[in-house]
Amino acid sequence: MYVNAGGWLCFCMVIALAVSVSGKPSTFFEDFKVTWADSHITQLEGGRAIQLLLDQNSGCGFASKSKYLFGRVSMKIKLVPGDSAGTVTAFYLNSDTDSLRDELDFEFLGNRTGQPYTVQTNIYAHGKGDREQRVNLWFDPAADFHTYTILWNHRHIVFYVDEVPIRVYKNNEARNIPYPKFQPMGIFSTLWEADDWATRGGLEKIDWSKAPFKAYYRDFDIEGCAVPGPSNCATDPKNWWEGNAYQALNALEARRYRWVRLNHMIYDYCTDKSRYPVTPPECVFGI
């Protein structure tokens, strides 16, 4: 039993995955494809749920068949349980371009049994990344499914965990700070080995005797402007995610955001003077 930022208790039911584009339920392979190691991705519940597997032979990954330009994407994930040190489960948006990549990352860093799971977020805009923040989750994300969401509109990008904002990146283009808004991005997820950095900076190595490592997914929800699609979709102010209610955090979200940053943030690139003797400009103007 865990208490979240609002003080309420969270009990989550394990049910099947349902892929939803604009509210239309479908099976996994209608909207997603395996990108590597299809032998390590298993459909469950008639394709409404999936399992990702990592062993000494391979990790695995999948991606959306379409790209999107602005909107909201969420998925429910149950992470690798037990001793997951050295593993990374990732959920991210990526423009899939080499030179000027845009990318919005959730990376869940495995742990030794009993230690908190860490979620790392990162943002690439116009090819520039290195904007990592890390938060220790306030619940056990391997015990049940939890919802992870990225909201992306013209005003800001918000990363949510169970409706609790943990990261905000504002559009500060007026101050010559890059913001991802020109390139559509696909939706990706992977389970892979990264024991050179993932757990305590690489001090904790993966224990292959605990393999195979498994993560589960369900309830994909994609609401955005698919590309190719209507040319005016991405600039349409009538899109719900561009509405007034989504231009800034509301009062409850702002309180929860402050709570996360005060109690659970363990790393912020904005305050890392060894990497950035001069504070990055987006940190000066507020993120």
Catalytic residues: 103, 107
> How close are the terminal C-alpha atoms of the chain, in Å?
32
Nearest CA-CA partner of 261 in 121, 148, 140, 151: 121
Task: Tell me the CB-side half-sphere exposure of residue 175, using CA atoms within 13 A.
Answer: 12
Report residue 6: phi and psi, to 5°: -85, 0
Q: What is the DSSP letter of 110?
A: -
User: b/e map of 204-216 (b: 16 or more CB within 10 Å)?
Assistant: bebeeebeebbbb
Report whether 132 contacts 178 (CB < 8 A): no
* Calpha distance 131→268 (Å, rounded): 8
Task: Please state the separation of Cα 117 from the chain's center in Å.
Answer: 14
Helices and strands of the chain, counted as H and E runs: 3, 16
* Calpha distance 151→246 (Å, rounded): 9
* Calpha distance 75→175 (Å, rounded): 33
